[in-house]
Amino acid sequence: MTPTQIALVQTSWAQVVPIRTQAAALFYGRLFQLDPSLRALFRAPIAEQGERLMNMIDIAVRGLGRLDSLLPAVQALGARHLDYGVQTAHYDTVGEALLWTLEQGLGPAFDADARAAWTEVYGALASAMQAGAPLRQAASG
Ligand code: HEM
C-alpha cells in the first residue's frame, strides 16, 4: 500500500461517511444477493450491524498509515468472526459487495486507481483478520 493509495482511500471514504447509512443498506442488499446463505449468520438487526461495520472501516481507514498498531484489534476481530461462522471464502464475497457499494456511492470518483487502492486495503484487512483466526482455533483446541 503506497502513501498515494492511502490518501486515495481516505479521501474517497470521507465521501462515503455522510451517506454511510444508505451505503450499509446497499452493501447488505448486495451481499445477500451474491450469497443468500450468508443472511443466516447475522443475528443482530442489519441496521445495527451496518453501523458497526461502517465504524470499523472508519477506524481502519483512519489508521491506514499505522496499520501495525491496529493489527492486534483486527486479528481479534478475525478470531471472533470464526465464532460467527465466517469462512475464508466469505471474505471474497464481502470484498466484492464492498467494492460494488463504493462504486454506487462514489460514482465516477471510484476510478481504476481508487478501485485498486481499495482492493489493497480490503485485502490487507481480510488477511490480517484471517491471520487472527487460527490463533483462536488453536486456543479453543
Ligand atoms: C474487512 C472485513 C470485515 C470487517 C471490518 C468486519 C467488521 C465487523 C464488526 C466490527 C462486527 C461487530 C462485532 C465484533 O466486533 O466482533 C462484525 C460482526 C459480524 N461480521 Fe464482520 N467484518 C468483516 C468481514 C466479514 C465477513 C467476510 C463476513 C462473512 C459473511 C462477516 C460476517 C459477520 C457476522 C455474521 C457478524 C456477527 C453479526 C451478528 O452477531 O449479528 N464479516 N463484523
Model confidence band, residue 141 (pLDDT cutoffs 50, 70, 90): very low
What was the pLDDT predicted at 132? 76
Best residue among 28, 46, 86 to mutate for probing ligand 1, ranked by most atoms within 8 Å of CB: 86
CA 35/CA 95 separation, integer angstroms: 12
What was the pLDDT predicted at 139? 53
CA 27/CA 4 separation, integer angstroms: 26
Predicted TM-score (pTM) of the model is: 0.92
How far is ligand 1, taken at its centre, from the CA of residue 77, in Å?
8
The total number of residues shown for the chain amounts to: 141
Q: Which atom of ligand 1 is nearest to the CA of 56?
A: 10
pLDDT digits (tens, 9 = 90+) for 63-115: 888 878 888 988 999 999 999 999 999 999 999 999 999 999 999 999 999 99
**pLDDT, the chain, mean:** 90
Q: Which domains does the chain have, with CATH numbers?
A: 3-139 (1.10.490.10)
CA 68 from centroid of its chain's CA atoms:
17
CA 92/CA 119 separation, integer angstroms: 11
Question: How many C-beta atoms lie closer than 10 Å to residue 18's C-beta?
Answer: 10
